[in-house]
Amino acid sequence: MSNIGTWFHNVASAVVVFEITGSALMVGAVVSAQFVPVLVLFPWTGLLTDKHDRRVILLIAQSVAAVAAGTLAAAVGILGLDGMALAWMIFGASVFIGIGKALAEPSMNALLPALVDRSRLDQAIALNNITFQLARAIGPAVGALLLVWAGVATSFAVNAATYAFFVVVLVRLQPLGSSRSASTDHSLRAGLVAVSRDPVLVVLLVAVATIGFGTDPINTLSPALADRLVPIGPGAEEASNRLVGFMISAFGSGAAVAAFSLHWIRRRVAIASVGVGGLVLTSVAMTGAAFSTHALGVLIAFGFVGVGALLAVTSFTTLIQFAADERVRGRVMAIWGVAFLGSRPLAALIDGSLADAFGIRPAMVTLGVIPLVVLVVLKPWIGRVRRSGKLDDPQPWAGRP
């Protein structure tokens, strides 16, 4: 529910800012505002995750986001802001929501091993991804309809309510194991050293970062792409707004299908190969979306982008969780967040700038091929790591009842 609410904010923000400014770069700036705190604060929030109770940090994080979203909704509803004033209000609220995200993500990921038995950690990671992908499937479409029917203030208010719901759930949550690290070295350096000395973690984190770049056009360029695909005429603006939601939902729907199919896939394919295949599919599908001239073609292509992204991020994250030392798990997952979420501000700004300067298609192709380029560059390194056996399935699913 909380993730669905976040998409209400994302869709409303992207559509409203694009209507006000007409610039894909400004949409990218608002997207970046939510992810810059992730990039800047993750190393320190990961440190807090290993030093304090992870459930308490999650409570604080969700409360910060709830207050930011609620304040934005109240300001829009009471003051009736419009024009650039509204754009700046959205920008400011997105920053504080990003601060909540920076606090929450390392704790959420580091808490997973305390919620399930280790033998089911890989499946728990897949289920955790399903919550995000179902939100992508449901949130943007419903958010677009809510924006059209009820307005901007209501979209922001519903988002605030979903954060509050998450707070209630966290209060009642009782982890199976300890939600606090047993580490005696709570320095940021310890986490960085743990990653830098492990070539497996370095390769996996670089691969995770490419997913953020390869999928960014779905968020940043959807408003501009929808405007290009919807014929000019009566009702064109509302049709374009709905299409934005459906395009983002197509990505989430594809990811949800992949998540529910992951068990079947993993019984037949090694986990590292699933990740590499997911990156390739992400690039190919995004390129297909760039050259599609019909909305249906874009929706189908975005669905396959979602399939590839889910397979890649779940496989690589599972391997990272197994490779990470529990004593620095929060800091390792904070670095994972910098790789996956922290790459988004740069990707969004590059995406928006390319679209404004050269057009939507070149921007989508450029960001889409990044995973393929990275795979080619890392191929010799990945080959050496594979031959060492360090990327073998830590707990292969094949053969399980």
pLDDT of 295 over the 90 cut = no
**374 membership: H or E segment, kind and range:** helix 360-387
pLDDT of 193 over the 80 cut = no
Token representation of residue 355: 């679209």
pLDDT of 229 reads 78
Instruction: In whole angstroms, give the CA distance from residue 323 to residue 329.
Output: 9
Of the candidates 374, 357, 262, the residue with the CA atom closest to the CA atom of residue 317 = 262
pLDDT band at 180 (very low <50, low <70, confident <90, very high): low
pLDDT of 285 over the 90 cut = yes
CA angle, corner 91, sides to 340 and 227, nearest 5?
80
pLDDT of 284 reads 93
| Whether the Cβ atoms of residue 278 and residue 312 lie closer than 8 Å to each other | yes
* Single pTM value for the model: 0.70
pLDDT of 192 over the 90 cut = no
Residue 341: DSSP 8-state? T
Please state the domain extents for the chain.
2-387
pLDDT band at 235 (very low <50, low <70, confident <90, very high): low
Give the contacts of 338 (CB within 8 A, at least 6 positions apart): 38, 39, 42, 43
pLDDT of 342 reads 67
Give the contacts of 65 (CB within 8 A, at least 6 positions apart): 96, 97, 99, 100, 101, 104, 163
pLDDT of 357 over the 80 cut = yes
What is the CATH class of 2-387? mainly alpha
| Whether the Cβ atoms of residue 378 and residue 203 lie closer than 8 Å to each other | yes
pLDDT of 283 reads 92
